[in-house]
Amino acid sequence: MSILNRVIAHLYSLLGFFRLLENLIPQHVRDIFNRWQLSLEQYFNLNYNIISIPEYKGRFLWPSKIFGRANSYLTNLERKCHHPRALVAIRAPRKRTVILQPGFTEMIEDSFRGSKMWWTRSIEWKPMQKSDQFEEKRLFTLKVARPSKSLLYDYCAHLKKIADKIEEKNRDISLWINDHDEFSRILFNHPCTFDCLALDLSLKDRILTDLDNFREGKHFYGETGRAWKRGYLLSGPPGTGKSSLIAAIANYMKYDIYDFELSKVASNGKLRLLLSQTTRKSIILVEDIDCSLTESSPHPKSDDYSDVEDNDNVTLSGLLDLTDGLCSSLGDERIIIFTTTHPDDIDPALLRPGRMDMHIELSFCNFPAFKILARNYLQIEDHELYAAVKEKMAAGAKMVPVDIIKILLRNVDNPFRALNALVSALDVKVKETEYM
C-alpha cells in the first residue's frame, strides 16, 4: 500500500471516529470540523463530487433558480429527517409565518437511489471594491458519494420536481381586475376551500375529480392537439355559493384569478389585448355572462361569428374568441369560468363542448350541505334538531346557503337556538310551496 493510500485510510478512520462522537462535540467545534472535512475531501478528491450552488450568478448577480429550488427542497427535507442543533429563523415573504432552517455549516443528509448526499449551507463575507463594507455571499454545497453523471441529472430533476410542488403549494394567489385595457393586482386571501364549501357531496367529488384530471392532463391535451384549458359554467340563484366555489377552485389549484369586467372593455380588440396579459395556471372569470354583453351588441344564434364585429362593445364574437379562439391558447393550464343566474338566456354558441365543458348547477341547500354549514359555524356534528331540519327540507323547503348562514351567525353561540330558528324559517318555506 502506498503512503498516500495509508494516509487516506487513516483519514477515513479519523473521520469515522469524529462521526461517532458527533453528538458530544460542541456546535462551534462541529462547524469547524465540517468545513475542514469538506476542504480535505476536495483536496484529496476522495471519491466524492463537490457541487457549489451560489445564490447569485453572472456579472449582474441575477438570482439563481437552482439556489431557490435547493432552499425549498432542503427546508422540506429538514422537516422530515433531520433535527439540527443550530437553526436560523426566517420570516416568509408577505406572510406572518416563521420558517426555521438549519444554520449555516449545518450538514443535512439525503439519499437517492441508494447513494448518499450531504448538503451544507455556508455564507461568506467579502470586502466590496472601493469600500470598507462587506457583501454577503450565500451558497449551498452538495457532496455526492461516487456519482455517475446520469445519477446527478436524475437527482437534479428529482429536486426540481419536489421544489416546484412546494413552491406551488406555498405561493400567493393574485386577483387581477381590469380597468379598461390594463389589469391591477390584488393579493387574494379568500379562505374558502372545498372542505368548508356547502355543496352536494356527489357534486363536490365530481368537481374535484375533474380538476385533478385537468391538472394532470398535459400529456392528454398535447397528444390530442387541444389547448390545455377547461371551461366551467356556474349557474344558480343568488346566494347559492358561486363566488365561494370560484375561491375554492383557485385555492385548490393555486391559480391566479383574472376577473374580466366586460363593461369596461371598449372592443373585441381590447379584449384580446387583455387576454394576452394573462398567464398560465390561471382562472379567466366572467361573472353574470348573460348581462355582460350590451343590448346593442349582435347575438347571432350560430357558431358562424367570423364576420361579426363591433368597435364600441365586446360582442359575442369577441367572447367566443375568449373561450376557444387562437388567443385562448396563449398560455397552458387555464380554466375559463362563466357565471349566470339565468342559464336559459345564454347564447347556445357559448355552451357547446370545448367552450363550456362542465355545467355546474348550484341550487338550494340540501341536508348534507346543511351539515357542513352547521359544522363550520356551530362546531357541531349532530344535534337533536337535525331530524326536523331534514324533514322540512324533504318537504320542499328551499333556502340558499347564504340565508342559512345568516340564521346560524345570529345564534352562533347557541346551537339549539340557531337550529330552532332555522327550523322555523324552513317551516315558512314549506308553507310557501303549499300555497303556490
Give the pLDDT of the chain (436 residues) as one tens digit per residue: 456 556 555 655 665 555 555 556 665 666 666 666 655 555 555 567 778 888 876 655 566 788 888 888 887 776 655 455 555 565 555 555 565 555 555 678 888 888 888 888 777 666 666 666 666 677 888 888 767 778 888 998 998 888 888 877 777 899 999 987 789 999 898 889 999 898 888 999 999 999 999 999 888 888 888 888 899 999 999 989 999 999 999 999 999 999 999 888 888 888 888 888 888 889 999 998 887 665 434 444 444 444 444 455 787 777 877 777 666 566 678 999 999 998 888 888 888 877 888 999 998 999 999 999 999 999 999 999 999 999 999 999 999 999 999 999 999 999 999 999 999 999 999 988 776 6
One domain for residues 283 and 189? yes
pLDDT value at residue 285: 94
DSSP string, 131-184: SS-EEEEEEEEEEEES--HHHHHHHHHHHHHHHHHHHHHHPPEEEEEEETTEEE
One domain for residues 117 and 53? yes
pLDDT value at residue 125: 66
Based on the structure, what is the number of domains in the chain? 4
One domain for residues 188 and 318? yes
Indicate the residue among 305, 333, 361 that finishes a domain.
Answer: 361
- For the purposes of burial, counting CB atoms within 10 Å of the CB of 94, is it exposed (0-12), middle (13-18) or buried (19 or more)? exposed
One domain for residues 394 and 357? no
* 301 closest CA partner among 232, 234, 233, 351: 351
pLDDT value at residue 298: 42
* 258 closest CA partner among 237, 221, 229: 229
Number of H helices and E strands in the chain, helices first, is: 14, 15
d(CA 321, CA 271): 9
One domain for residues 305 and 384? no
One domain for residues 15 and 88? no
pLDDT value at residue 276: 85
Indicate the residue among 170, 197, 224 that finishes a domain.
Answer: 170
* 417 closest CA partner among 366, 390, 392, 380: 380
* 99 closest CA partner among 71, 58, 135, 138: 71
- Name the DSSP letter for residue 92: P
pLDDT value at residue 404: 95
One domain for residues 210 and 268? yes
pLDDT value at residue 249: 96
d(CA 153, CA 141): 16
Judge contact between 80 and 95, C-beta under 8 A: no
One domain for residues 95 and 240? no
How many residues are given for the chain? 436
Q: Domain range spanning residue 427?
A: 367-435
pTM: 0.68
One domain for residues 29 and 122? no
pLDDT value at residue 400: 93
Indicate the residue among 361, 379, 406 that finishes a domain.
Answer: 361
One domain for residues 138 and 198? no
One domain for residues 211 and 344? yes
One domain for residues 226 and 355? yes
